[in-house]
Structure 1
């Protein structure tokens, strides 16, 4: 999930989060905030979500179960 930037082979956190949103069935609304601050926040969020997802997989959950657990973790209702 997530792509490497074609220009310099770097991880693109925006594409990573968009892919996660699509997988989770969530719409994406882009912010007009400061791009550098937003990039830092997205990077931190991606790292946290990746660690959470990887942790579920390492604990023995399937990919589907890991996504369901992430959905439950992020549900604010």
Structure 2
């Protein structure tokens, strides 16, 4: 999940697999695969960077390692 900020300043998390397209109009508008739209404070470039970082984390297996480390610390 990637962390984003709504126009009202509320933070929320979005599964990037649900993103169909991102437009700047000049607000950043994210259209989801179900045609719903979200307007966020982040720029399209920032959203793309978050998606790339998320995918790198997933594909590198770091998320599993971090979860295991958190469990071991408890």
Structure with greater helix share of residues: 1
Normalised to the residue count of structure 1, the TM-score between the two structures is 0.34
Larger RCO (CA under 8 A, 6+ residues apart): 2
Q: Rg bigger for which structure?
A: 2
TM-score when scaled to structure 2? 0.35
